Structure 1
């Protein structure tokens, strides 16, 4: 059965997501995929999340998927209980996913029971497309697209995600959502969607934003 934990921010994975799957009597092996950080300037969040993973007690291995093929990725992931696809630049991440063997490998492993965590960009690539990464209220928020024009992504869920929701984006997003090809679901920080098979459940204290 498909098990996904798609979060707006990485800290929520450490504080909530891992605890939902880790068992006290078993070592929890996790591949921490940090490729998306290579497309951003400020990577302080990676240091913070590494420390959080260390303190969580899980046995994690950092993995960059860029430039790797199917054989190498299968070897790296073969004994893992879970992967965490970290945030950063969504376009850089999608480019690496498509150019490596990651898309095929991760889908096969998820079907076999591998748990997949995704935060921010890492959650967006689980969707049919990364269209929402183009939805920026201000031009200064637009990121380098690294030449990515085909926005089709992993299609692990049947909806698009808009992470890091802020109330001032409400009117802008209502317009964009009406134009979108797929349903759009919104996450605030410290929220996530837990996906078990075809069931989707919101995790977090606040109610889901619906526009």
Structure 2
């Protein structure tokens, strides 16, 4: 597996991760938020990446064909998958075949950055995230099995600032015995490099 930066909320760890590996061009996938009228957090992420000095190009999975998505990925050094509803995101990735495309690209060395839902989708399963996101937003999703790039379940916003401590505690109690949960506060990220994993500030 290539390098992954799995962010809970803030993007402070991005510059060292991307530029430290020779990248400057980021393909931005906003799909997880496409079902919402207000996508202020996505606009903030896009703006933050540009302010950090990156060239950012949107890749709209629900508009582009598979070949157009593949071509768009050919033109960037890294892909950033933003937050929103992880169930909707996984549904679109499967329906478009981009789940396999991204898996192949990441295994071949493309840098992957995921924030919130974009981080959660690469894990073993997204079922526990049903306490944070509404699964009914993805009525066609038949399996909550994630992309499986890591064998953990990423739980973003684990400090409770976004969703509240009670929900995070309930998630841990209900699912902690069934899944390996990786709890990330908003100012943390999980850095994955091959078989090595470390929680870093972001």
User: Does TM, scored on the shorter chain, surpass 0.5?
Assistant: yes
Residue number in structure 1 paired with 2:6 = 6
Please give the alpha-carbon distance, in whole angstroms, between the structure 2 residues aligned to 1:183 and 1:5.
Answer: 18
Q: Is the 8 A contact 2:23 2:77 kept in 1?
A: no
TM norm structure 2: 0.87
TM norm structure 1: 0.84
Q: Is the 8 A contact 1:128 1:156 kept in 2?
A: yes
Residue number in structure 2 paired with 1:157 = 150
Please give the alpha-carbon distance, in whole angstroms, between the structure 2 residues aligned to 1:35 and 1:145.
Answer: 13
Deviations 1:144-170 (A, max 9, x none): 432123112211111111111124446
Offset, 1:71: 1.9
Are 1:53 and 2:49 an aligned pair?
yes
Secondary structure at the aligned position of 1:87 is classed as coil
Residue number in structure 1 paired with 2:14 = 17
Deviations 1:156-204 (A, max 9, x none): 1111111111244464233223342x31110110101000011110012
Offset, 1:134: 1.0
Cα distance, 1:44–1:178 mapped onto 2, change above 3 Å:
closer
Secondary structure at the aligned position of 2:137 is classed as coil
Please give the alpha-carbon distance, in whole angstroms, between the structure 2 residues aligned to 1:170 and 1:134.
Answer: 11
RMSD: 2.2
* Correspondent of 1:175 among 167, 173, 176: 173
Residue number in structure 2 paired with 1:71 = 67
Deviations 1:55-112 (A, max 9, x none): 1111110111125443222111013110000001111111110011211111111112
Structure 1: any 5+ residue segments left out of the alignment?
A: 206-211
Offset, 1:23: 5.2
Please give the alpha-carbon distance, in whole angstroms, between the structure 2 residues aligned to 1:67 and 1:201.
Answer: 35
Please give the alpha-carbon distance, in whole angstroms, between the structure 1 residues aligned to 2:128 and 2:37.
Answer: 21
Cα distance, 1:197–1:47 mapped onto 2, change above 3 Å:
same
Please give the alpha-carbon distance, in whole angstroms, between the structure 2 residues aligned to 1:83 and 1:18.
Answer: 13
Structure 2: any 5+ residue segments left out of the alignment?
A: none
Answer with 1 or 2: which has the greater Rg: 1
Superposed, which structure 2 residues align to 1:15-164 within 5 Å? 15-22=12-19, 28-136=24-132, 142=134, 144-147=136-139, 148-164=141-157
**Structure 1 moving runs of 4+ over 6 Å:** none
Offset, 1:130: 1.0
